[in-house]
Amino acid sequence: MTDDAQIKTTRIYTGRVISLDVDQVRFPDGTTGELEIIRHPGASAIVPFVSDPAGSDPQVLLLKQYRYATGGTLYEIPAGRLEPGELPAACARRELLEETGCSAESMVPLTSMFTTPGFTDERIHLFLASGLTRGESRREADEFIEVETVSLSTALQMVESGQIQDAKTALGLLFAAGFRAGL
């Protein structure tokens, strides 16, 4: 929907991560209705390559992260919320360091995606990171993460088998493999 589709918005809730609005909107056919919209500042996610992405079956880092909303752990790529005024590439570098302890020599944009456009405006910017240098992570208090190194082919098999269920991770790995890496 374009900005001119919004007739009125009412903020219902403001939290640490999201806000909830009820918007009165004009649909493309001219009718009007109400939609509940979760507002999110956006995020960046990173497919971190330990070895040369153009090499034969390169190595990537995956996070095994506890996620309360899913009732357990998920395999994910590093990601995090944009700070006010922060550029997506800066967020990607910050989150890579915070969650894995790595800095990247190269950070290449892959694509941007809407996570669930039926009810949220959240957009995630995906990046490919290479030339990693390991250091100390700086995780937030509510982040419970194990970092694992796997081959890209193994990560793709994990997507295919359903072992990787996180959408940003699946798309990031598939995009990196299909358009950027050496497979």
CATH of domain 43-113+123-180: 3.90.79.10
Long-range contacts of 68-75 (CB under 8 A, 24+ apart): 70/165, 74/164, 74/165, 74/166, 74/169, 75/148, 75/158, 75/163, 75/164, 75/165, 75/166, 75/169
Give catalytic status of residue 143 as yes or no: yes
**Domain map of the chain by residue range?**
3-39, 43-113+123-180
The catalytically annotated residue of 36, 86, 143, 148 is 143
Full strand arrangement of the beta sheet holding 19-26: 6-14, 19-26, 32-39
pLDDT at residue 145 in the model:
85
Given a contact cutoff of 8 angstroms between Cβ atoms, the answer to whether 103 and 61 are in contact is: no
Tell me which DSSP letter residue 149 carries. Answer: E
pLDDT at residue 69 in the model:
92
pLDDT at residue 179 in the model:
82
Consecutive sets of 10 residues in the chain, 183 residues long: mean pLDDT of each?
Answer: 81 95 96 96 97 93 94 96 97 96 96 96 97 82 86 97 98 91 56
